[in-house]
Amino acid sequence: MKRQLWNKVLSVAAVAAITAGMLTGCGGSASNSATSGGQAAASNESEKAPAGGTQVWRMAFNQTEDHPQYRVMEEFSKEFKERTDGRYEIQLFPNETLGAQRETLEQVQSGVIEMSIVNNTHPGSVSDYFKAFDMPFLFDDVDQAIRFVKESPVMEEVKADTEQYGFCIATYMPAGTRSMFTASKPIKSVDDMKGLKIRTMESDIYVNMMAAFGGSATPMAMGEMYTGIQSGVVDGAENNEITYVNSKYYEVAPYWSQTNHLIVPDWLIINKDVYYGMSDEDRAVFDELCSEAIDKVQVQWQADVDKLMASLDTSKVTITDDVDIQSFKDAIAATNQKLVDSNEKIKKVYDAVQAMK
């Protein structure tokens, strides 16, 4: 509870300070919400960046400073500042300091902050294209997901669709694979999911996924997960290895089961007016660094996974890596097909993924 309360205190204080003392670099003053689709009024470049000044951008992040995405974005910020002769500085705010991911998406839309890293489910709340990426077993592995994001022509449509809501997709941030971790027993097949309450992100797709697996989804914020498992509100959760170890969920959920049921992107997002407010030259530098960040995150991600999972005390943590994956695929097949058939945008992404396999 102390951890959750402290995160909320930090969030309120930080957002209040930002709102009260807006620095340069905010792309507009009109408000956008996740549902309105309104766009902030654009400012011209001379208003945004006085001669010789530095625009300070704030980037929200819900993980720790040790996270590979954070480390890559630290390097990104330094190089972006250097290559634009100090015209931009990106300040990183980890540990949900600026709020949970849904809140930071709305802050980026409205221009309260400039950037955030958010899980795919949040862009999926405004654009149906992204719902396809939440489908269990959409990709066979992370390499395939990276190749799709880099090479598929459909991705241009996916990215463009968010601009009507006031933000742009800057780049894909690999986030590994997601598996189950539980408090009282390992998951060896889908049969072991029966009756379990599993924390998920707030998404109808996740709720339907857990129902298909035989359990039930309990959406809750990241900052509530530890105490939720500890207190028995949920029986476990699903996430990637880095989050599992770095956030010490193994203390309250010592059974890690390698289900690999999701390969869900994280996205680096940026306020639309901020993005298009850059000069063509500076935006080209930004885009180049974004493209490079994909592979940099993946390399660091895999190294961290190997190191962190090897660090666990196997006398206290049970790792099950021989899960019957096919039983999960069979259980979710009808639910996936129903989702594909429900929406043309989802179907377009799904068909494009299948065509690249």
Q: Amino acid letter at 312? A: L
Phi and psi based region of residue 155 (left: phi greater than 0; alpha: psi -120 to 50; beta: remaining):
alpha
Strand locations in the chain (E) = 55-60, 88-93, 115-119, 167-173, 178-182, 197-200, 216-219, 236-239, 255-262, 266-271, 318-320
Of 202, 194, 195, the residue nearest 225 (C-alpha)? 202
Q: How far apart are CA 107 and CA 95, in angstroms?
A: 16
* pLDDT for the residue 223: 84
Q: From the DSSP assignment, how many helices (H) and strands (E) are in the chain?
A: 13, 11
Structure tokens belonging to residue 202 = 């707030």
| DSSP-derived secondary structure for 32-60 | --TTT---PPP--HHHHS-TT--EEEEEE
- Note the pLDDT tens digit of each residue in 108-159: 999 999 999 999 999 999 999 999 999 999 999 999 999 999 999 999 999 9
For the chain, give the mean pLDDT: 88
- pTM of the complete model: 0.81
- Between CA 64 and CA 243 the distance in angstroms is 9
- How far, in Å, CA of 182 to CA of 145, rounded? 27
Q: Across 175-297, where does the E strand assignment appear? A: 178-182, 197-200, 216-219, 236-239, 255-262, 266-271
Q: What is the pLDDT of residues 62-86, one digit of tens each?
A: 988 999 999 999 999 999 999 999 9
41/270 Cα distance (integer angstroms): 15
For residue 175, the model assigns a pLDDT of 95
Tens of pLDDT, residues 334-348:
999 999 999 999 999
